[in-house]
Amino acid sequence: MALNLLMLGPPGAGKGTQAERFARTRGIPKVSTGDILREAVHANTEIGLRAKAIMDRGELVSDEVMIGIVRERLDRQDVAGGFVLDGFPRTVAQATALDRIMTGRDPLIVVDIVVPEGELVRRLATRLICESCGANAPIGDGTSACMRCGGRMVQRTDDNEAVVRERLKVYHRQSEPLVEYYRVRPSFRSINGAQPPDRVAADLAAAIEAVGNGGGEGLRP
């Protein structure tokens, strides 16, 4: 049975770091929408060219284009044994499209990483990102070099408290319907992200194991 994991959580929850760590440990691909969008544009695929034209106009990539890019990525052979999906879906419309993409495949396990807003603000206001590839430094890591590409780590210009709180408001407004969409499923779990990364990783593994050991009967939507 393939292990198909969907990670949810607000900016600063550490879901990208946990997704990458879990994917590496289990030997399955981490599918990040940011990465596959850049890859599709670079590869000049039909959907990638559409996305590039949209971004070149300074517009947001539509649900239709993002769904097409994710469908294209999940059709590749390297995800046959499972994947960790990070950054998609962001809306209920994208979630229902993902259900259609997953038809005939092993079901999704959905994990929501929950962190209090005060802690998110603290983390985001001190967060470093790579100026070359855009990767985030792991929470609490003050390194000066990117672990992915070796680029210089810098603070985002919009990572001040007022802007961070506004971004979190937008996230909660958009994400609450999405979390509710998945919450009713036996394969849904919430874990406490306001812990050291090793503890979060252990809780993530335990949640997935609980679903796999019979805690998620009737997993399909």
* Residues catalogued as catalytic: 15, 90, 127, 156, 167
Q: Which residues pair with 69 in a beta bridge?
A: none
Structure tokens at 38: 């850049």
Amino acid of residue 144 = S
Q: Of 155, 151, 108, which Cα lies nearest the Cα of 133?
A: 151
What are the CA-CA distances from residue 96 to residues 91, 156, 181 (Å)? Answer: 9, 33, 9
* C-alpha neighbours within 13 Å on the C-beta side of residue 48: 15
Structure tokens at 202: 């252990």
Q: Of 136, 134, 140, 137, which Cα lies nearest the Cα of 119?
A: 140
